[in-house]
Structure 1
Amino acid sequence: MRSSAWVCGPGRGLPEMDRLALALLGACALIGAGLSSEPAPAPIANPVVAAPEAALPGTAETAATVSETSEDAQVVARILKRFAMRHTALPERERERLAYVIVETSRSQDLDPDLVMAVIEVESAGYHLAESEVGALGLMQLLPPTGKEQAEDLGIEWKGPDTLFDPIVNVRLGTAYLRELADKYDGDVNTALAAYNWGPGRIDRRLARGGSVPKRYVDQVRRAATRYAATPPSRS
């Protein structure tokens, strides 16, 4: 029997590629012999598998934040069920992403996510391309000047009024504006809701004349919020 050195010699039976492969196998055997005494790495304990929502672009941190509590997970399920009943013009994956953003953004602004979702339903019925007669746009029906101001405050790129048709951006701007109004009225969310609908200037003038906070819009949003909170999560 010929040795491997003889077989690998020029012109002695193996083409060049086969000789290279055989040489590599020999090198690997030598390396393996030197490493065989090394201990095998310990397995990773309790590996974490990311939720499908976390795989969406820009939502990994949002999904992680929301999934910290079972309560938030239930709110997400309720929002998804409500979106499924509406003409949102959004595919399922975008609705999932949006539901997580609504919860995360509401929590970050110290607002009830069911309340924010109620504002979305009352303002646009969940249709992200909604446009009112006065020019309010998107899910939370923001006027472009208001949206631009909030975008500048939050460091969000403003590309003109069409920016408000991005549902994720619209929710971030709308919740920030609602929080700003709540702070303006010393944490009175009902007055903030009225100002969101009427405009803070009109509410200020009304209050200055000794008038009361208009209740129709506030009651409409509150009823919707209660309905959301009472809606069992979807099992689908």
Structure 2
Amino acid sequence: MYGMLGVLVVGAVLWSLAPESGSRGETFARLAEWAPALAHGFAMNVLISIGAIFIGTVIGLIAGAVALSRSFAGRLARIWITAFRNAPWLVLVYFTTYVFPFELHVFGTTVPFSDWLKVTLGLALPASANIAEVFRGAVASIPSAQWETAASMGFSRTQILLKIVAPQCMRRMLPPWMNVYAIITMGTALSSLVGIHDLLDTAQIASSTVARSSFTVLTYVATLVIFFAYCYPISWFTRWFERRLR
């Protein structure tokens, strides 16, 4: 609640400082005209974030489980986690956008490889590393006595992980997993830099089309509020759920 008030206060201050060019009512009317386009652009951000968190979760759980072993595959998984947790997201977005082809040839059929899919893969890489680390932390929170007891009953390490530890980890992973999703959603704003027609790109087009300073400020304040209104409830629920778990 206080966070939303802070955003509104910042928006009001920026709006009041914007140079006057035309009536305020006319500026709001122009924003209303662009509202459907802004909503359509934000739908692209949501689509990319859902795809990135889905792919990242699948890869992250696998990498996190493999990283628990002391084998060569475990070392590779730990390198993967360390590398992509510390890699700049913008570099990954540019990398996946330009390293993958614009179309794929599958069984003689040409399939376009859309730029938004490339951005989704670019954001899925850091998402997978962070979720793998979340999984590692959840596993580490399970008392070692459970591993020892299950091992004494004849369970293998893999069976202990899958049948005893993993079910307990799922509930403990949910709050940080939701936090990762909120961060990934905010990171989708980077997609505008590689030509994706998302919310930020739409705001830039609207600003240059209307060419009015007060409208530009109002548009970017609206962009900030839209991202905040989507991500803040996720963060709030994360904190609430963590309190319930404790």
With a CA cutoff of 8 Å and minimum separation of 6, indicate the structure with the bigger relative contact order. Answer: 2
Q: More helix by proportion, 1 or 2?
A: 2
* TM-score, length basis structure 1: 0.23
